Amino acid sequence: MADDLFYQKGFENTSFTDIADTAGIARGNFYYYFKSKDDILAAVLSKRSENIRELLSEWEKEYPEPAERLKNYALMLVKSQSTIENFGCPLGAMCLELNKLRHALQDDASGMLELFREWLSKQFSALGHEADASKLAMHMLGRCQGISLITSAYNDLDYLNREVDALQEWIDTLSPGYKQRPGQ
């Protein structure tokens, strides 16, 4: 609930009352569990990090090849396209807002991006790009964040889908045994 409100309204624009009302809990009772909005934010960031770790672990099991895992990462944008169109990337939006506020928990938010960057780097290494794995991971992370931003700014789902297709084609070019098709 609080996570959704922070995503849709922003951390700064979400009040304690908004959260309590959405949860259906009297505001006074809410203070029993959380003394401040920052306590709620810390819980949201912790839960998001846990969810990211679980997701990445599931992908490791579900997709045997690193190229498939990378493509699935890009497909995350397509699977979330309606919310991305309206609000951008939940992770990117949170990181940006907390950075602007110079909030004490901004490093915790950025840590979630780091979970993805490390995982992406591991996938690129597994594809045989050990020397450039970190740079490729940052490129893919940045590109996905850019796709989210542009999709939201222009309300353009066609753009999102075209860019995800292009990312998947790029991943193919990095895969062992890739052969360029005639006419490319």
24 torsion bin: left (phi>0), alpha (psi -120 to 50), beta (else): left
Long-range contacts of 107-112 (CB under 8 A, 24+ apart): 108/42, 108/45, 108/46, 108/49, 109/45, 111/49, 112/45, 112/48, 112/49, 112/52
How high is the pLDDT of residue 30?
A: 78
Q: CA gyration radius for the chain?
A: 19
48-174 carries CATH number 1.10.443.10: no
Tokens at residue 68, please?
A: 């498939």
- Is 80 in a helix, a strand, or coil? coil
Contact indicator for 19, 30 with CB cutoff of 8 Å: yes
38-67: per-residue pLDDT in tens?
999 999 999 999 999 999 999 999 999 999
Cβ atoms within 10 Å of 171's Cβ, excluding its own = 23
pTM, two decimal places: 0.91
Nearest residue to 6 (alpha-carbon basis) of 146, 76, 74, 101: 101
Tokens at residue 87, please?
A: 């609000």
pLDDT at 85 over 90: yes
Average pLDDT, stretch 13-29? 87
pLDDT at 184 over 60: no
Chain centre distance of CA 82: 14
More confident residue, 108 or 33: 108
More confident residue, 147 or 182: 147
Per-residue confidence band for 4, with pLDDT thresholds at 50, 70 and 90: very high
